[in-house]
Amino acid sequence: MGHIADTPSQPKPGAIAPGLSLYLELLRLLAATEVVLFHINGFPLLGGHRAAWNAFGHEAVVVFFVLSGFVIAFAAQTREHTPKAYAVSRLTRIYSVALPCLLATVLFDRIGVALVPQLYDGLITDGSALVRLVLGGLFLNESWTVSAQMFSNTPYWSIAYEFWYYMIFAGLFYFRGWQRVAVTALACLIAGYKILLLFPIWALGWGVYRWSQLRQVSPALGLLLFVQPALVLYLDDSLSWTRHGGEWLARVIGQDNWRVGLSWSRYILTDTLLGFSMALHFIGAQALSPWLERALRPVAAPVKWLTARSFTLYLLHQPAMLLAGAVLIALGVPLLGSWAAFGATWGIVLAFAQVTELQKHRLKPLVSWLLNLPRLLTARRHQAVPAD
Average pLDDT of the residues in 365-371: 93
Q: How many CA atoms lie within 13 A of 289 on its CB side?
A: 17
Tell me the domain boundaries of the chain: 4-379
pLDDT confidence of 384, banded at 50, 70, 90? low
pLDDT of residue 8: 37
Percent of the chain with pLDDT over 90: 86
Q: Determine which helix (DSSP H) or strand (DSSP E) holds 49, and give its type and residue range.
A: none
Least confident range of 40-49, 120-129, 194-203, 322-331: 120-129
Whether the predicted pLDDT of 124 surpasses 90: no
Q: Which residues of 62-94 are buried (b: 16+ CB within 10 A; e: fewer)?
A: bbbbbbbbbbbbbbbbbebeebeebbbbbbbbb
Average pLDDT of the residues in 195-202: 98
Average pLDDT of the residues in 90-102: 97
* Whole-number Å distance between alpha carbons of 21 and 384: 52
Count of helix runs (H) and strand runs (E) in the chain: 17, 0
